[in-house]
Amino acid sequence: MLRLSLVLLLSLFIKSQEYLEYSHPFHPTVSDKGMVVSQNYIASDIGAEILSKGGNAVDAAVAVGFALTATLPRAGNIGGGGFMLIYDAKNQTIVSLDFRSMSPELATPDVFRKDGEHQSSLSRSGYKAIAVPGTVDGLFTAHELYGSMDMKDLIQPTIDLCIEGIPLTNDLYGAIQNTKTLTRDKESTRVYLDENLKVGGKIKLLDLAETLIKIRDEGKAGFYDGKIADKIEKAMIENGGLIRKSDLKRYKTNITQPISIEYRDKSIFAQGPPSGGGVVILTALQILKNFNYSDLKPNSAQYLHILAESLKHGHQNRSKFIGDPKFYSAPLEDMLSDDNGIRRAKEIDFKKTTSSDRINRVTRSIESDYKESEDTTHYSIIDDSGNAVSVTYTLGYSFGSGVTIPGTGILTNSQMNNFASNYGLEKSLSRSTSEANKLDPFKRPMSTMSPVMVFDKDGSLELITGSPGGSKIPAINLQVLINVIDFDLDIGLATMMPRIHQDWPYYSLQVEKTLNNDTKRILETYGHKPKESKTMGSTQSIHIKDGVNFGFADLRRPDAKVSVQK
């Protein structure tokens, strides 16, 4: 009898061990209800609360967009711009909103030049770096198209938060203390660098609350016209800035179709110009679908080599041909064609890196100092009817230009830095000399931001994702897509696999520290020169399988969260 009992106990122990043995520690949040995934836990909760009150995915996206202005001020914004993909489940349609920041009428290359050279300090921080913000118009446009709740109810949670105070987490406090540009602006110093602010305390944004009340009560005109616009123009004139009230009144969100390709048996949708990020992703996928690497591992050197080589071609396309489509027509059909993908795939050697000269077929030149900030943010949302939103928006650098418009609480962007500042000054392969992205008044600069959606062969939504990361955004998004589609990883592991980044023309391969050393050594034998990078991006993703939502907030940046509709 004792022997039998021991056998039964051992059997139960073995079974319990099998049940508790998980394949990895990165567990998605699972629900058949609506879901919000963002880089800040408070913003995610606000979005989920909107869904719980009967709002749809767009309602939640608007609420989250405003909330991140307060809870993630280094990237969340009403003083910047971005892109949004919206999927309407009832009509099975997908649209793109381009609310990218726009150069003001007074912006010309000469404004940023001295003695024939571009002065990067002017386009990266301070008043001249600020482009016309698009976020408020973008959020209102989304609501006008698909919103169901009263706009006032979507803005009010952030107003309340600004008045009550935003918790100062280690991440938020550290970001404030490590941003030197805030110290160069009197108003930003007053708001964010009060010596009484400590970790664990709260920061009250009362001027921002008043601005949001104006927007709540007057609509987008409360931002682009009236007293707020007066304060923006006054600060600009007093500090040598370029934006005027006429620029603010002129701003309009562009409603377009996203760009897309077929990859394996999926339809991949990404953001089109002025985003170059979507072009990089889809160019690389068109190349990669000519290779069968599903029997490799997602962290194997051979796969990562092919991936890096395909990214070179993708970044070449975006560097040379992408700018504001109202000013420059990119040859998208040719760039994203199957034939072009096949031709470029043939350029890839399985055991050797491809030179930039061979990709471009033009004279070699030096590398540019053109920089793209990694301080952006992304959020993904789905409601219980299957409507979905994928949003990436930015201030540019961390806390944007570093400027807060006095009396408004509005942190402003540094997007004038994203134009090809050396166009006409030199000839090179560098994207800083691109004709497509040269600076003109009323033009939107090229960006690597690209929200993404994936649909299966039956047309059902399968994946919503996106990331911050500057020029790394395409590689980050691309690796999540391939990890899910080709390697059949769940969204948790697909997110947390080590990442690489390969730019063009003469940049080294960057790899996260978690990539194993043996893989790095093999990559070196192919001709790569791997450089360790800090964490790449912060993807916020929802994977839909059999009607169930699997959400995962990237662990690379703290305070992110998956929140579920009650």
All residues at 6 or more sequence positions from 22 whose CB lies less than 8 Å from its CB, including other chains: none
CA distance 262 to 285: 9
Number of structural domains in the chain: 1
User: Is pLDDT of 6 > 60?
Assistant: no
Span 41-99, pLDDT tens digits: 999 999 999 999 999 999 999 999 999 999 999 999 999 999 999 999 999 999 999 99
User: Is pLDDT of 33 > 50?
Assistant: yes
User: Is pLDDT of 19 > 50?
Assistant: yes
Asked if the structure places residue 2 within a domain, the reply is no
Strands (E), 257-375: 259-263, 266-270
**pLDDT value for 425:** 83
CB 502 within 8 A of CB 311: yes
Span 504-560, pLDDT tens digits: 887 889 999 999 999 999 999 999 999 999 899 999 999 999 999 999 999 999 999
Strands (E), 80-190: 81-88, 93-99, 113-114, 117-118, 166-167
Provide the annotated active-site residues.
376
Whole-model pTM: value is: 0.94
CA distance 181 to 197: 18
Domain range spanning residue 125?
29-259+377-564
The percentage of the chain sitting over the pLDDT mark of 90, rounded to a whole number, equals 86
Asked if the structure places residue 111 within a domain, the reply is yes
Per-residue pLDDT, averaged over 337-363, amounts to: 81
**pLDDT value for 367:** 40
Span 78-91, pLDDT tens digits: 999 999 999 999 99
Asked if the structure places residue 40 within a domain, the reply is yes
User: Is pLDDT of 146 > 70?
Assistant: yes
Here the tokens at position 232 are: 């923006």
Span 390-422, pLDDT tens digits: 999 999 999 999 999 999 999 999 999 999 988
Asked if the structure places residue 272 within a domain, the reply is no
CA distance 75 to 82: 11
Number of Cβ within a 10 Å radius of residue 464: 30
Find the DSSP H helices in 432-516: 473-485, 491-496
User: Is pLDDT of 18 > 60?
Assistant: no
CA-nearest of 289, 291, 288, 286 to 332 is: 286
Per-residue pLDDT, averaged over 321-333, amounts to: 96
Q: What is the dihedral of CA 263, 268, 270, 272, to 10 degrees?
A: 60
CB 406 within 8 A of CB 231: yes
Asked if the structure places residue 313 within a domain, the reply is no
User: Is pLDDT of 360 > 80?
Assistant: no
Lowest mean pLDDT among 208-212, 344-348, 353-357, 465-469: 353-357
CA distance 165 to 162: 5
**pLDDT value for 372:** 62
**pLDDT value for 295:** 87
CA distance 496 to 499: 8
**pLDDT value for 371:** 56
Asked if the structure places residue 96 within a domain, the reply is yes
Span 190-238, pLDDT tens digits: 999 999 999 999 999 999 999 999 999 999 999 999 999 999 999 999 9
CA distance 475 to 482: 10
Band of residue 431 on the pLDDT scale cut at 50, 70, 90 = confident
All residues at 6 or more sequence positions from 253 whose CB lies less than 8 Å from its CB, including other chains: 97, 98, 99, 134, 137, 138, 141
User: Is pLDDT of 322 > 90?
Assistant: yes
CA distance 331 to 317: 10
What's the mean pLDDT when you consider all of the chain? Answer: 93
Output phi, psi for 259, to 5 deg: -85, 155
CB 103 within 8 A of CB 442: yes
Asked if the structure places residue 421 within a domain, the reply is yes
Per-residue pLDDT, averaged over 371-397, amounts to: 92
Span 451-488, pLDDT tens digits: 999 999 999 999 999 999 999 999 999 999 999 999 99
CATH number of the domain within which 129 lies: 3.60.20.40
Band of residue 5 on the pLDDT scale cut at 50, 70, 90 = low
Asked if the structure places residue 10 within a domain, the reply is no
DSSP for 158-193, written as a single string: HHHHHHH-EE--HHHHHHHHT-GGGGGSHHHHHHH-
**pLDDT value for 22:** 87
Band of residue 430 on the pLDDT scale cut at 50, 70, 90 = confident
Q: How far from the centroid of its chain's Cα atoms is residue 255's Cα?
A: 19
Q: Which comes out higher in pLDDT, residue 123 or 14? A: 123
CA distance 299 to 278: 23
Task: Examine residue 258 and say whether the peptide bond preceding it is cis (omega within 30 degrees of 0).
Answer: no
CB 416 within 8 A of CB 120: no
The percentage of the chain sitting over the pLDDT mark of 70, rounded to a whole number, equals 93
β-partners of residue 99 are 82
